[in-house]
Amino acid sequence: MNIDKIEPKRALKTLRDEIDNIFDRFVERPLGVITGQVVAPVDISETDTEVIVKSDLPGMELSDIDVSISGDILTIKGQKKKELEQAGKTYHVVERSYGSFSRSIRLPAEVDVDKVQASYKNGLLEIVMPKKESNQAKKIKIKSEDDQQG
């Protein structure tokens, strides 16, 4: 009976290489490709006076995008239409996702819905939402005892 000697270092390296390979494939193929659903990735940032949401929506027409705010929830909905397949064309790889999507995001601050502005250019949706006055940061001057003795 011939028993191979087990080398723990080599076994752990092989396992680590396999896990790294799986992770690399997952990162290279976005979640939407894996699930077959359209995903609207977003960046959410905040300043003292506004909340800004940016979303990548490449290949979509402005008429296929809908943005709404209800309370503290921003909703981005859309429909990414599939291109018509052409006769005589053979597809070898199809990774782009098509269909409808809806993405709801809880806003980090209360915004003035009457002053929200949205723009769409080169596949990037940008929504700028001014905060309500009561939520805007206000600088508070700190007094010291030296100020009062003068």
Rounded to whole angstroms, how far apart are CA atoms 43 and 55? 7
Nearest C-alpha neighbor of 40 from the set 26, 56, 24, 61: 56
pLDDT, average across residues 61-87: 88
CB contact at 8 A, 84 and 103: no
* SS3 of residue 86 by DSSP: coil
pLDDT for position 9: 75
pLDDT for position 17: 78
Residue 150 confidence class, pLDDT cut points 50, 70, 90: low
In the chain, what's the furthest Cα-to-Cα distance?
Answer: 96
- Is 8 domain-assigned? no
Q: 91 is in which domain, residue-wise?
A: 38-135
- Is 10 domain-assigned? no
- Is 103 domain-assigned? yes
- For residue 117, pLDDT beyond 90: yes
Mean pLDDT lowest for which of 6-15, 24-33, 36-45, 71-80?
Answer: 24-33
pLDDT for position 129: 96
pLDDT, average across residues 30-37: 51
Give the total number of structural domains in the chain.
1
Rounded to whole angstroms, how far apart are CA atoms 40 and 120? 14
pLDDT for position 140: 81
Mean pLDDT lowest for which of 21-30, 56-65, 140-149?
Answer: 21-30
* SS3 of residue 133 by DSSP: helix
- Is 92 domain-assigned? yes
* R_g of the chain computed on alpha carbons: 25
CB contact at 8 A, 67 and 74: yes
pLDDT for position 34: 47
Residues 6+ apart with CB under 8 A from 68: 74, 75, 77
- Is 150 domain-assigned? no
CATH no. for residue 95?
2.60.40.790
